[in-house]
Structure 1
Amino acid sequence: MSSSPALADAPPDPVPGAGPGLLGRWGAAMARHRSVVFALWLLLVLAGGAAFPALDARLGAPDFTVPGSSSARADQLIAEHFSAFGVEQDLLVVHSPSYTADDPEFRESVTRATAAAGAIEGVTGVIGPYQGDQAAQISTDRHTAFAVVGLDGDIAERVATATRLQAAVAATAAGDFEVAVTGYGPMQADLMEVETADMQRAETIGLPIAAAVLVLALGALVAALLPITVTAAGIAVAVGVLFGLTTWLTFDSLVLSVATMIATGTAIDYAMFLVSRFQEESHARGVTSRTQRAAIESAVAATLDTTGRTVLASGIIIMISLCSLVAVGLRMLDGIAIGVIAAVSATLCAAVTLLPALLAALGPAVRRGALPERLRPAIADDQPSAWDRWARTVMNRPVAFGLAGVVLLIACAFPLTTISHGIDMGMNSLDGHPSGRATVLVQDEFGPGLLAPLTVVATGPTDTPLPAAAQSAVLSFGAELDRDERVARVLPQQADGRVLLTVVPRDSFDSASVADLTREITDRADAVPGAELSVGGTPAVFADVSDRIAARFPWVITLVLTVSLVFLIVAFRSVLLAVKAIVLNLLATGAALGVTVAVFQYGLGERLLGFTSTGFVQVYLPMLVFAVLFGLSMDYEVFLIRRIRESWDRTHDNGLAVAEGLRHTARPITAAAAIMVAVFAGFVTADVLELKQIGFALAFAIALDAVIVRLVLVPAFMRLLGDWNWWLPRLPLTRRRTE
């Protein structure tokens, strides 16, 4: 018999017959005062629902600005010294298949559109094709022309201006003319509409599947309705919270999509775990009538004391993971972190307040609408089952199963070694929108580089005017760029002793070639004598974002792992279980990201999933997916280990504890994973590529985690570790309290 390690003298989890803990007493209070709880939640849900239209109106575009970067400084200098030029230059496109730019009707259409554009607040100036460079602004066939429209303000203000601008110029179109605006701001405005439609479609697909899985997992219609009800209430309150936060913060449509996606999946899972445990606890107490108030309240208290603790621990881990994104220092990731934390907090609050009240009100009625007995899950069945046999099969050959699982995860993660980053704007999803049509016209007739050119602003030291020699050097630098085969043209401008070079690439601003060109220009700019050059424009912003994420990603990983390790040691009361959980989560997350790279970067299955590979993944995807997945996949680890811990505290038999824990959790974990996969996979139908990538990565990771990690690797490694699973050094905070 192997020697056992010294076990920590730690307080055990609540056991049957013991008095309820703090969370159990809270659950009992929710049960007793359920009428008050229902009234408060009704008010909160109504307020949150009423806030949704206002929140939708306040959503802005993703803000990729990197504080203190060269691109941010370039925008600031343009606003100060080239205000008529505008921080952003959009293109007002006029097209007619019947008339040409030489016809008076065409000229009249351009005049009406440019006049309407110039009257919009936030527009700094308009240069029409007849006032500017006709050779550059009128197509070769003379059927298409564009005006340059300057926009001022931050990204949120520019998107709002672009929305008003699009509506104003579209109203001027008459007869056989198309009039629309394209550029970064107009495209972002239309992308927000596309993302909203994507989110609604994903929910339409995912939620019915989740509802069907709930019925099978819980065995009754009423029981299945509870998680859906609680989730809907939590999301409504989350909307209200996000609306309140918009008083101080700006959120974009991606924040709402990601927050809704994650909060919906976690909320349904949490509620399902709690309802499943309540069914066990009420069955153990012989609850058959709603008049058995004491027994029902006791079942609610026990549910919160056991599974409720697990749910809280899981929610906290998700918040810890998401908080790490703030360390990057990007407003876009800050918004996602705050939005998801707010949404998860709201749904977590619903799980530990509204759900206990509903369970207390229903009592045994949660079993109404029961499925046929052969389809219902066993409640508190202590007899060995297929899951016991599976657990013992794995534990009888732990090395073989453990090695096979680890090799599979490493193989899936291998494509990460060739990962390539970029930012795809989602222009391919804009078909049918004004900016999409204008974008196609510009790309076909003038070249894609016009959509968002680079801007190079040259000043003297500390923003002083340039000496004459330095101005000549800057202009010579611009002439060199103009001869670069990757550059369509360079347009120099001078004002207040400063020089602005507008560099129009030949390729689209979100292409890999323009990203390389941007970095090369930035490097070469340092060599211009007597001048300080700041490189701006959308391509430069994207480059700065990529550099910032690459530099901060290791810090995010370190922060998440360190804080999670400490938290898990406290939650599991075990050092090795916490380390094992982190290592397995890293493997599963790496595997999911590797497969995501294979699909979206290599293009494997692109026809099946309905997209065209860009040759890279979104630059922020690995960091976002790591933070989210690390929190989500830990849900099942905490749920499984805490249930195994309950058995271990009772029997001190490691093999029996693992088998019992798997027996009680395998079905709900599998169902919970299926629900999350359904919710996340719904976003694979999105037209916007970044939503498709996020949905695919999360769905695949959860499936991998539930099947390979929880059902194979956890029992295998727990068998190999034996009693050392439960080792914890004797520390003051872990010693057993004595009465």
Structure 2
Amino acid sequence: MSTTSVEPRAGALGRLAAYSFRHRWLVLTAWLLAVVAAFGANKAFGGDFSADYTAKGSDSAAAQQLLEQRFSAQAGDTVDVVFRVPSGVSAQRSAIEAVLAKIDAVPHVAAVDDPFTTPGSISADGRTLLTKAHLDVVNPEDMPVEDAKAIIAIAEGATRAPVEMAVGGQSIGSAESGSVGSEGIGLAAAALILLLAFGSVVAAGLPILTAVLGLGVSSSLVGVVAAATAVPDWSTALASMMGIGVGIDYVLLLVTRYREQLAAGREPLRAVVATAETAGRSVMVAGTTVVISMLGLFGMGLSYMRGAALVTILAVLVVMASAVTAVPALLGAVGTKVNSLRLPGTGRRPVGHAGIWVRWSRTVQRRPVLGTLAGVGILVLLAAPLLGLRFGFPDSGNSADGTQTRRAYDLAAQGFGKGANGPLLLAAKLPAAGDTAALETLSGSLRTTPGVASVTPVVLSPDRSTAIMTVVPTTGPQDAKTETLVKHLRDSVVPAATASSGTEVHVGGVTASAIDSTSDVVKRLPLLVGGVVGLSMLLLLVAFRSVVVAVKAAVMNLLSILAAYGVVALVLQGGWAGQLIGIDTATPLPAFIPVLMFAILFGLSMDYEVFLLSRMRERWIVTGDNSRAVAEGLAGTARVITAAAAIMVAVFAAFVPAPDVILKVIGVGLATAIFVDATVVRMLLVPAVMQLLGRANWWMPEVLHRRLPNLHIEGRPEFHLDDEGEAGPVTLPGQRTVRVPV
């Protein structure tokens, strides 16, 4: 095939790759300009991060709305201020008041409660004082870090024997979290793995360079997305994880296929077109599955989920665009020198060498029942801790020892009981201005309710149309008994005390809001699972033209995700496994994390499924032998999948040292799932199950065969097979080649 005949006969991806190859410097310049333009757009139009975790239409949301309308000074976020004086806080009153005055002068502090006149602010033994600084921001993300650090500095300066002081709250915790540069750590680890996999500085540098280009565009545009919709601050780290991980993985697949084509004797342009027509198609399908999975988050009806999904989808789309334009341009720039600058002792095997992977596949295929049982057994064992998982939101009690938030939590619990760290706020709309008769009855009932430690007096709003009072439980905010108490107050105590009075009471506060949010997310989870699994199966059905492949992929992905959930549940128990990653107390799992993990992992698991099965289908079409297709498909992709999985694990594991529990848990879950998926599932379960199913793997009803489009994910033979019909170095010797109708 001549060079000039390649492009006209190629598909759209092949033609685009040929254009990028020929106009390589123009394409690369356009990508550099895109990075600059994205950075400029962020500077000009970028918005601030924000997130609303309240459950719409819930009782706690109604309470928050009343606070915002009638108690604006108390509607914002708060900072807990705790003093402990062994000789009694009254002896240090002047010093304490001086410190509170300093906090009151910090920007964004609207007011500080006077603990010496506010009932319930001093413990029964007189040694502990707990008050609140009210901020003028509703969401903790809106509190500037420098102002939160100013409050921390005041607390640290005031802690002198015999006075012990600490401050807590979400804004304080965010300021203490800081950053560990996880993106840089992930990139460095990925670079090392690529060097070992390719044995060439040039080949290893291409995926890193492409990932940096994509990250430069997508990370800069996050601010633009934040200006249009609510985007939580942690979503930037998530998008970076995904952008780096899938970006390097996709380019790794492309560069590996390009090297195979060069090793088969093809000149660079034809090798690039063949790469686009085979691996490029796999990348497009794989990226589309990730996007579909993330789109499932829109069905949750949660604004912060939509924001996180949007920035992640943006990162993946940028990666897909770079894979079909920037990569061919870079390959055009390096040409046949892609294997240059070899490292001593590495990269000496022939590209695509089957080696150990053929022998491994044959071993599994000889005992498919044993392989299937072993794989399922491992996944079930890993998933077992999931039975003890607790949903909820981590609080300051889960912060690291020595932090301000943990010290404030422990001091408050020591002086007032565990419930002081999770008070319930009852907001009431009165039938007439100042009519608190029903609330006085309710207050009496609350004091005799089991599980209630104390109740503050009723406080009226300035216009006397609304009232609030605080209920302190006897149990902590994460205790199941606290959730039971909230339900009991809403279902029994409040209705009984306010019946026929016209008083409308809502149970709110941070603890009640967390309970409502968890319940809301869990209720919506089936919508996400059904939508993502259904759409992904449809895409696989079209891509591989096989009902069995689509169903098998969905089942195996679900099993690997459950295994990852089990590992997350294990580390959250705070035992030996948790202490390895800095979790030393039993910690609940925010319900949105498994939802987020499901969307991400289902898409990423499909990536490896697409990489593996596209090569298997390619060999099936050529040989018509299912056993051979499975063995050669595994042999042709095992090194790529292993390296890609190692990179993804390294990128996700780089977020485990993060101080933020949410990022830490997401890193553990994603790294575990990718490792399990690339080893137990792809290297054991897939070949075993596909051997058991035989030719049924590739069955599709005739009506679907005629009606569904053919994506040719396995590529077009004229662009990647030689004249004898073989796909090059992965083929097993001594076996006959047969063409199977597509």
1:387–1:148: structure 2 CA closer, same or farther, 3 Å change rule? closer
Picking from 179, 194, 198, the partner of 1:197 is 179
Asked whether 1:309 is paired with 2:281, we answer: yes
1:523–1:53: structure 2 CA closer, same or farther, 3 Å change rule? farther
Which range is displaced more, 324-333 or 433-442? Answer: 433-442
Asked whether 1:494 is paired with 2:449, we answer: no
Asked whether 1:224 is paired with 2:217, we answer: no
In 1, Cα distance between the equivalents of 2:592 and 2:306?
A: 12
Q: Is the 1:321–1:627 Cα contact (8 Å) retained in structure 2?
A: yes
Shift of 1:368: 0.8
Shift of 1:591: 1.8
One-letter identity of the residue aligned with 2:487: R
One-letter identity of the residue aligned with 1:210: A
In 2, Cα distance between the equivalents of 1:736 and 1:108?
A: 75
Asked whether 1:127 is paired with 2:116, we answer: no
1:513–1:260: structure 2 CA closer, same or farther, 3 Å change rule? farther
Tell me what 1:78 maps to: 67
One-letter identity of the residue aligned with 1:148: K
Tell me what 1:292 maps to: none
Gaps of 5+ in 2: 712-740
Tell me what 1:395 maps to: 365
Tell me what 2:138 maps to: 154
Tell me what 1:289 maps to: none
Shift of 1:567: 0.7
Asked whether 1:164 is paired with 2:147, we answer: yes
Tell me what 1:482 maps to: 447
Which range is displaced more, 29-38 or 410-419? Answer: 410-419
Q: Is the 1:681–1:696 Cα contact (8 Å) retained in structure 2?
A: yes
Shift of 1:641: 0.4
- Is the partner of 1:638 in helix, strand or coil? helix
Q: Is the 1:101–1:138 Cα contact (8 Å) retained in structure 2?
A: no
In 2, Cα distance between the equivalents of 1:94 and 1:407?
A: 53
One-letter identity of the residue aligned with 2:451: R
In 2, Cα distance between the equivalents of 1:729 and 1:619?
A: 40
In 2, Cα distance between the equivalents of 1:186 and 1:411?
A: 39
Tell me what 1:7 maps to: none
Shift of 1:576: 0.9
Q: What's the % identity of the aligned pairs?
A: 37
Tell me what 2:224 maps to: 244
In 2, Cα distance between the equivalents of 1:484 and 1:402?
A: 55
One-letter identity of the residue aligned with 2:179: A
Shift of 1:580: 0.8
One-letter identity of the residue aligned with 1:414: A
- Is the partner of 1:361 in helix, strand or coil? helix
Tell me what 1:412 maps to: 382
1:109–1:350: structure 2 CA closer, same or farther, 3 Å change rule? same
1:630–1:504: structure 2 CA closer, same or farther, 3 Å change rule? same
In 1, Cα distance between the equivalents of 2:151 and 2:652?
A: 38
1:691–1:84: structure 2 CA closer, same or farther, 3 Å change rule? closer
Gaps of 5+ in 1: 1-14, 287-294
Q: Is the 1:325–1:627 Cα contact (8 Å) retained in structure 2?
A: yes
Q: Is the 1:314–1:635 Cα contact (8 Å) retained in structure 2?
A: yes
Q: How does 1:585-596 map to 2 (within 5 A)?
A: 585-596=557-568
In 2, Cα distance between the equivalents of 1:160 and 1:56?
A: 17
Tell me what 2:16 maps to: 26
Deviations 1:400-433, CA, capped at 9 Å, x for gaps = 2122212322233233334321211355436666
Which range is displaced more, 410-419 or 331-340? Answer: 410-419
Asked whether 1:91 is paired with 2:80, we answer: yes
Tell me what 2:254 maps to: 274
- Is the partner of 2:512 in helix, strand or coil? helix
Shift of 1:690: 2.4
1:172–1:56: structure 2 CA closer, same or farther, 3 Å change rule? farther
In 2, Cα distance between the equivalents of 1:370 and 1:107?
A: 67
Tell me what 1:9 maps to: none
Asked whether 1:518 is paired with 2:490, we answer: no
TM-score by length of 2: 0.85
Shift of 1:237: 0.9
In 1, Cα distance between the equivalents of 2:511 and 2:398?
A: 18
Asked whether 1:686 is paired with 2:669, we answer: no
In 2, Cα distance between the equivalents of 1:609 and 1:179?
A: 29
In 1, Cα distance between the equivalents of 2:370 and 2:400?
A: 50
Asked whether 1:38 is paired with 2:28, we answer: yes
One-letter identity of the residue aligned with 1:86: A
Picking from 469, 472, 479, the partner of 1:504 is 472
In 1, Cα distance between the equivalents of 2:495 and 2:186?
A: 52
Question: Aligned pairs, how many?
Answer: 697
1:490–1:27: structure 2 CA closer, same or farther, 3 Å change rule? same
Tell me what 2:629 maps to: 657
Picking from 121, 131, 134, the partner of 1:136 is 121
Tell me what 1:3 maps to: none
Tell me what 1:290 maps to: none
One-letter identity of the residue aligned with 1:591: A
- Is the partner of 2:394 in helix, strand or coil? coil
Tell me what 2:738 maps to: none
Tell me what 2:733 maps to: none
TM-score by length of 1: 0.86
Q: Is the 1:183–1:435 Cα contact (8 Å) retained in structure 2?
A: yes
Tell me what 2:399 maps to: 429
In 1, Cα distance between the equivalents of 2:396 and 2:300?
A: 24
Shift of 1:345: 1.8
In 1, Cα distance between the equivalents of 2:386 and 2:154?
A: 49
1:66–1:122: structure 2 CA closer, same or farther, 3 Å change rule? farther
Q: Is the 1:114–1:128 Cα contact (8 Å) retained in structure 2?
A: no
One-letter identity of the residue aligned with 1:116: A
In 2, Cα distance between the equivalents of 1:602 and 1:428?
A: 10
Q: CA RMSD in A?
A: 3.3
Tell me what 1:12 maps to: none
In 1, Cα distance between the equivalents of 2:89 and 2:393?
A: 36
One-letter identity of the residue aligned with 1:734: L
1:39–1:431: structure 2 CA closer, same or farther, 3 Å change rule? farther
In 2, Cα distance between the equivalents of 1:600 and 1:651?
A: 49
In 2, Cα distance between the equivalents of 1:335 and 1:148?
A: 31
Deviations 1:74-102, CA, capped at 9 Å, x for gaps = 11112222334434443345678999644
In 2, Cα distance between the equivalents of 1:176 and 1:577?
A: 64
Tell me what 1:733 maps to: 707
1:604–1:161: structure 2 CA closer, same or farther, 3 Å change rule? closer
Shift of 1:253: 2.6
One-letter identity of the residue aligned with 2:59: S
In 2, Cα distance between the equivalents of 1:165 and 1:613?
A: 25
1:520–1:674: structure 2 CA closer, same or farther, 3 Å change rule? same
Asked whether 1:66 is paired with 2:55, we answer: yes
Shift of 1:673: 1.0
In 2, Cα distance between the equivalents of 1:459 and 1:115?
A: 30
- Is the partner of 2:655 in helix, strand or coil? helix
In 2, Cα distance between the equivalents of 1:150 and 1:67?
A: 24
Asked whether 1:341 is paired with 2:331, we answer: no
- Is the partner of 2:460 in helix, strand or coil? strand
In 1, Cα distance between the equivalents of 2:395 and 2:40?
A: 32
